[in-house]
Structure 1
Amino acid sequence: MPRQNRVQPDGQIIAHPTRGTFMGNRGILHDDTAHQHGKLTHRRWRHKAWVCCVLSFKNRQRQLMARNRYTELFFYDEAVALAAGHRPCAECRRADHKAFLAAADHSGCAPDFDEQLHTARAIPRVYGQNRPLEDITGLPDATFILTDTGPALLLGDMALPFTPEGYTAPIKRPQGTHPVLTPAPTRIALHNGFRPMLRLPASLA
């Protein structure tokens, strides 16, 4: 039974069988019986340190949606995690964490950055995703936008439409104004050379 733990670029958390390549944490989003039914409560975060982690670290083993333990979230690839508002974990991805904050022009502590990132990504009280309308000219590679048909990843002169199964055939990069899913502080890091790990179709890999 697929559990409700697959995070999408547009902020939705769905139940889907496609396996992720990264794991995330926003706190406890499930109830005490979720290990059996696999569904979340209405909450979409319990703290502001949304991290993106590797799937295996120091041989640690976890029971999914265990009582009084954080909810394990999963992402198709790192660009999806960034669009959803996460940043590299300081424990299991220490080097990536440091590189990301440096590329984001942040010299302070991680909690200060998390406050800034949360303001950019989230709509409080309704647990919504902030999607500013912007002209996409000049947006960096690995940014997600929202098109009429759903999320799409910008990559050079292309856009890769995204579904829960992954990326579909590339299309020509759109023009004009679109809702942007990847938060502004993260886009600074992308502009400055941070390169997320992408899970591209075989034809583009």
Structure 2
Amino acid sequence: MINNKLIKVCGMKDGQNIHETELLGVDMIGLIFYPESPRYVRKKPDYLPKHALRVGVFVNEDIEKVKKSAVRFKLDFIQLHGSESPEYCHSLRSEGLQVIKAFSIAKTRDLLKTHLYETSCRYFLFDTPCTQYGGSGNTFDWNILHIYNGKTPFLLSGGITPFSAQRLQEFHHPRLAGYDLNSRFELEPGMKNIEQLQMFINDLHKKQTI
């Protein structure tokens, strides 16, 4: 955690790449269990995080399959990117799982639906709308989030690049919990560029300690 902000690296599936990423000191590592994603985890990696929290990403999946995956992969968090209901989230939480619910944000009214999930999620994730599930790699207007007055902390996602540290430092919100990194840090889908991740983390740390 850098200056009380979480760093989550999502969309990983190669064991060695996961290990190298974990050694950077990131807080969360995400594994995608959505078959339509190019980062879909088809088989269990030969290394899974031992220190970073394990996040499983699902899209409108049968809840029993989610629970089975949580046990098999020893997931700490379940991240949901579909149209999952508050009751769905509550059911996972009742099993002792922490839930991250993703919301696509284009206009201020998109934040209204978060109120229904206040008691069922540990974090929200705010991302850019796109035609497919899982994010577009593009940035939305973060200024929209200034009207968010919910109690649930959120992760900021969508289009964060190795060169985004300064812009992230200029964005402040009392409920901002951390940053979600994915496609802009890749050599190919599912394979992260360790040098770029290290550069970003170093730059973010420098800017936060100035």
TM-score by length of 2: 0.31
TM-score by length of 1: 0.31
Structure with more helix by fraction: 2
